[in-house]
Amino acid sequence: MGAGLLLLGDSRLPAGGHAHSGGLENAVARGEVHDLDTLTDFLLGRLYGSGAVQGAFAACAALVAGPYALDAHGPWAELDTELDARTPSAPSRAASRAQGRSLRRIARAAWPEEPWTALGVSPHHAVVLGAAATRARLDEREAAVLAVTNTVNGPASAAVKLLSFDPIAVTVVLAEMAGHCDQVAEEAADAARTVHADGDWDRLPAWSAPGLDVCAELHAREEVVHFAS
């Protein structure tokens, strides 16, 4: 834990996250999120639906990457397929891959000696995040923390922009949620360790939040949008 965690967890990391609301824009458009309580509910859904899965995949990718050099022959394709299977909405898969592509661009520039091409051109965000985390001297639990917090921080900052919430109030919501994030990340990392030891990639966690898939699908059909997802 150190500067590497802050580097990859910084919302200013230029990896495209600012243009994604994680379904929040659609939830706002349909009036489902309109105040801090409904925002909190939405973020908890993100955390336990999406965050728990993203965290496990990031942790697993960190274990696959290994602490010393990225393993070009690791089961990257398997992780990719498994995460696809856990992301039923096509626009959500596209959003994950767009952010993965952007993060991979940064990782390649920062750690050029590593075989990033092994991950594919547009890998899922959580997978690149886990691999990049190891290059930033982080372990699988920290990789999970990054992925899990990312699933709530992005929509929270989108809420500030779309609903004119007081940014301090939204930070209070996130502060209250930090303990939950740590717990979800801990469990995600535990799950990833078991799966990694056995090589049973299909046993990675598969929590879902169908409401978020609906948001993603409806957002993609919307004519006027501010966010890419």
User: Which residues of the shown chain bind another protein in the complex (CB under 8 A)?
Assistant: 3-4, 7, 12-21, 67-69, 98, 101-102, 105, 108-113, 134-137, 158, 161-162, 223-228
CB of 85 to another protein, least distance (A): 24
In the complex with another protein, the residue whose CB is nearer, 4 or 75, is 4
C-alpha–C-alpha distance, residues 155 and 181, integer Å: 15
C-alpha–C-alpha distance, residues 124 and 173, integer Å: 27
CB of 21 to another protein, least distance (A): 7
Task: Quote the crossing angle between the two packed helices 125-135 and 140-163, to the nearest 10°.
Answer: 120
Residue with tokens 């243009």: 19
CB of 216 to another protein, least distance (A): 14
C-alpha–C-alpha distance, residues 170 and 116, integer Å: 36
Q: Which of 36, 7, 48 is closest to 170 using CA atoms? A: 36
CB of 180 to another protein, least distance (A): 25
Q: Hey, what are 83's tokens?
A: 């995460």
In the complex with another protein, the residue whose CB is nearer, 71 or 78, is 71
C-alpha–C-alpha distance, residues 165 and 78, integer Å: 41
CB of 206 to another protein, least distance (A): 29
